[in-house]
Amino acid sequence: MNTLLVLLSSLLWWVLYSSIGALFIAIIAWAVLRWIERYPVVFNRTYLACLLWMMIDVVVIAVVFVRSGAQFDAAVLKTVWWRVFMVANMLLGAALLWRLVPRIDARRIKPTSACLAVAVIMLVVFGAVSSLLG
């Protein structure tokens, strides 16, 4: 019974932290997509794409913590496997935004718009992480 409660609590915190992070990312993505498409996009679908993206990211970052011994410092950002993860992460984010986010006129956003939104998100997140880690 105790194991079940631990797993349930872990799943709850996984969804909670992912949704908090996805909200900030969705606001950035929505603003960038609205600007680059020059047409309104649906915010709740943008949030859904960012939520799925963040849920996968939280799992991968947990694996990074386990692999690096729970010491996440600036040296981890310089490794090859971290760079491979970042490229795969950006491709996943662009694919999720492109496939899940429609415009108000029910047309899909352009793949270049999704790539630009992901690039801006990664710029903001990488700037925040690198300034926090020193």
Per-residue pLDDT of 85-119, as tens digits, reads 889 999 999 999 999 999 888 888 999 999 999 99
Q: How many domains does the chain have?
A: 1
pTM (predicted TM-score): 0.86
Determine the structural domain holding residue 108 and report its residue range: 2-133
pLDDT band for position 35 (cuts 50, 70, 90): very high
Burial-class residue 50 by CB neighbours within 10 Å (0-12, 13-18, 19+). Answer: buried
Cα distance between residue 76 and residue 20, in whole Å: 24
Kindly state the average pLDDT of the residues 1-14: 90
pLDDT at residue 71 in the model? 67
pLDDT of residue 46: 95
